[in-house]
Amino acid sequence: MKEKKKIKVLRIINRFNLGGPTFNAAYLTKYLSDDFETLLVGGDKDDSEESSTFILNQLGLEPIIISEMRRDIGFKEDKIAYQKLKKIIQEFKPDIVHTHASKAGTLGRMAAAKCKVPVIVHTFHGHVFHSYFGKTKTAIFKNIERYLARKSSAIIAISDIQKRELSEEHKICKTSKIKVVPLGFDLSRFQENQAEKRSSFRHHYLLDDDEIAIGIIGRLVPIKNHQLFIDAVNQLTKKSNKKVRAFIIGDGEEKEHLLNYCKELKLDFIEFNKEPQKANLTFTSWIKEIDWANAGLDIIALSSLNEGTPVSLIEAQASNKPIVTTNVGGVENVVLNNQTGFIVPPNDLKQFYNALNQLVEDDDLRISMGKEGWNHVKEKFHYTRLINDIEKLYVSLLNNTK
């Protein structure tokens, strides 16, 4: 019997830094059915970012890394990366090129179109159409994305809200070209050995049993608006009847600015190193075992000005932790307001503080909201659903080319 020809997929991601896009690309590379053959290509992380290659190693994946494909625009490097992508396409001969996030989406789709790849798909994990740049630069990026959308067989949005933003608000392409495929993860580890992990984390950071730990997880960059979180923590430590400790988990270009801001506020804070210390606010840098951190925390926050689908909030709910978040991007597709967390307007310190304070002061509410989280995310954001959705989309798009 003649062996069935496999569908060849070239998957291109911006860079292998810690975050949702790497998980998404890794699971799609690893777990697509035997009907598919996938090659994973990505750029290098920035120096201020934590590498996500450990995720690939755990799954036994060996990607091609193009060191010239970086986050920032650099015409010389981008041209080299584009040429390398064309060469990979010419050698691999994919049926589908699927790009993830902006830089990979630009260079990868241009190379795929030049090489006449039958199906070109792009996933918007977030977008830069507000709160990142000024009007002129934003307009340029929108026009580039509109051009690239015309070269694409389909655009994937990771939430219904993002689909509406891309089609109706920013006019990137017609609604009919956009398919909604939520992210998917292996969330089981967030339910495993929670008591043991909690004890370990709290011992590591000298947390007493009666101290309530609030965490925020992500890159220290302007769009994440950590200053709002710091302002709320500053108020909590002065006003709350409970003992509160806060943790900023992550690293990035804003770190020095945030440290100086804490000094201006005269906030009791530390940068954690190997020596145990106690403070109202601890900058931990990156923690790879985020299930360990989540187990030790009591409340998980997000203060962003713009988001795609915030992975930290999916993982928070998988860990049975209540959430306080700003209402940006796909947050309302992830968090059940007043059930698994509180959703407040962006950059509104009063409401952000009040929501945190309510969870700090009310033990029963904090616990009951946390328990609702797992039931909400365990199937909706599981990777098996992601794989099934993507395989159906790929087959449909290929059939349309015949």
180-204 exposure pattern, b = at least 16 Cβ within 10 A, e = fewer: bbbbbbebebbeeebeebbeebbee
- Phi and psi torsions of 294, nearest 5°: -60, -35
Nearest residue to 106 (alpha-carbon basis) of 139, 149, 63, 169: 149
* pLDDT tens series, the chain, 402 aa: 556 789 999 999 987 866 668 888 999 999 999 999 999 999 877 665 666 777 888 889 999 999 898 877 778 999 999 999 999 999 999 999 999 988 899 999 999 999 999 999 999 886 555 544 567 777 888 889 999 999 999 999 988 888 998 888 888 889 999 999 998 988 999 999 999 999 999 999 999 999 999 999 999 999 999 999 999 999 999 999 899 999 999 999 999 999 999 999 999 999 987 677 899 999 999 998 999 999 999 999 999 998 878 999 999 999 999 999 999 988 998 999 999 999 999 999 999 999 999 999 999 999 999 999 999 999 899 899 999 999 999 999 999 987
What size, in residues, is the chain? Answer: 402
3-state secondary structure of 126: coil
Q: Which residues of 358-378 are buried (b: 16+ CB within 10 A; e: fewer)?
A: ebbeeeeebeebbebbbebbe
Distance CA 364, CA 376 (A): 19
pLDDT, position 248? 97
| Separation of alpha carbons 329 and 78, rounded Å | 28
pLDDT the model gives residue 21: 81
> How many helical (H) and strand (E) elements, i.e. helices and strands, does the chain have?
15, 14
Domains, the chain, in order of start with CATH, read 7-185+382-400 (3.40.50.2000), 188-377 (3.40.50.2000)
Cα–Cα distance measured from residue 18 to residue 160, given in angstroms and rounded to the nearest whole number? 24
Residue whose C-alpha is closest to residue 219's, from 187, 258, 161, 186:
258
Task: Name the pTM for this structure.
Answer: 0.80
Terminus-to-terminus CA distance in the chain, angstroms?
A: 24
SS3 of 259, please?
A: helix
Q: What's the confidence (pLDDT) of residue 360?
A: 97
Among 218, 160, 182, CA closest to 388: 182
Residue 190, φ and ψ in degrees, nearest 5:
-75, -15
Distance CA 268, CA 59 (A): 40
